[in-house]
């Protein structure tokens, strides 16, 4: 038995859309006090559907099969990233995000099938309801949270922008390896959607 694998299931983005999100991060970075926001790196820009936490390596093949079965009846999803928001709210943001639009009902059904089919795997249990979003950055300092509202960060120019669209045709099972330089991601398997 080897070390546990830190795994999650996600939809990946086309490079052109990732480039656009990086440019949005740069615009926003100019509007906050220096170094007050930790921006998500480009390799971390994906739409997480399920975070498993630690999974024993010997369970990875069964998880792969369960994930593929959960995705097999899903048709490709037409999705887009549009608008900005913040958790828990814009007045005291901790997480800055881009919103997800498009085939949201199909996306939520897919997420529910994945949750149900793969519930037995991993040591992480999500207690919050699924809210489709893509994290752009995190504000760590409470003092920055008090002053970093959309109004004084001048989000108005881009808060309703359409950043780009894409067709999702598969879910990726991704391994996250933590190290001091930041997490490294490796796709272990791809669970394709129904074609045609």
pLDDT digits (tens, 9 = 90+) for 124-165: 988 889 999 999 999 876 555 455 554 455 555 566 689 999
CA distances from 165 to 80, 82, 109, 142, 169 (A): 4, 9, 20, 34, 13
172 is catalytic: no
Reference 36, options 149, 139, 109, 105; nearest CA is: 139
Q: Distance from CA of residue 138 to its chain's centroid?
A: 13
For the residues 50-68, what does the mean pLDDT come to?
A: 97
Rg, the chain, Cα only: 17
As a whole number of angstroms, the distance between CA 24 and CA 31 comes to 11
Residues 6+ apart with CB under 8 A from 103: 77, 78, 79
Q: What is the pLDDT of residue 142?
A: 57
- Which one is catalytic: 3, 124, 133, 172? 133
- Which of the listed CATH numbers 2.40.50.180, 3.40.190.10, 3.90.1140.10, 3.40.640.10 matches domain 5-192? 3.90.1140.10
As a whole number of angstroms, the distance between CA 70 and CA 111 comes to 9
- Which one is catalytic: 3, 46, 124, 172? 46
Instruction: Count helices and strands (H / E) in the chain.
Output: 4, 9
- Percent of the chain clearing pLDDT 90 (strictly above): 68
Q: What is the pLDDT of residue 140?
A: 74
pLDDT for 7 beyond 60: yes
pLDDT digits (tens, 9 = 90+) for 8-39: 999 999 999 999 999 999 988 887 777 889 99
Every domain of the chain and the residues it spans = 5-192
Q: What is the pLDDT of residue 126?
A: 86
Is 0.85 topped by the overall pTM?
yes
pLDDT for 1 beyond 80: no
Q: What is the pLDDT of residue 78?
A: 98
> What is the residue-averaged pLDDT of the chain?
89
3 is catalytic: no
């Amino acid at each position: 038995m080897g070390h546990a694998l830190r795994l999650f299931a996600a939809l990946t983005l086309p490079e052109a859309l990732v480039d656009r999100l990086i440019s949005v991060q740069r615009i926003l970075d100019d509007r906050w006090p220096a170094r007050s926001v930790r921006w998500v790196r480009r390799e971390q820009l994906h739409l997480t559907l399920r975070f498993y936490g630690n999974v024993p390596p010997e369970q990875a093949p069964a998880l792969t099969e369960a994930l593929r079965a959960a995705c097999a009846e899903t048709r490709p999803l037409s999705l887009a990233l549009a608008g900005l928001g913040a958790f828990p709210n814009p007045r005291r943001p901790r997480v800055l995000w881009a919103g997800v639009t498009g085939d949201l009902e199909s996306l939520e059904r897919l997420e529910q099938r994945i949750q149900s089919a793969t519930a037995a795997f991993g040591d992480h249990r999500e207690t919050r309801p699924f809210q489709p979003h893509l994290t752009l950055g995190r504000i760590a300092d409470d003092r920055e949270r008090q002053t970093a509202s959309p109004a004084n960060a001048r989000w108005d120019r881009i808060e309703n922008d359409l950043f780009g669209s894409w067709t999702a045709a598969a879910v990726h099972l991704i391994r996250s390896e933590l190290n001091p330089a930041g997490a490294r991601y490796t796709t272990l398997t791809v669970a394709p959607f129904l074609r045609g």
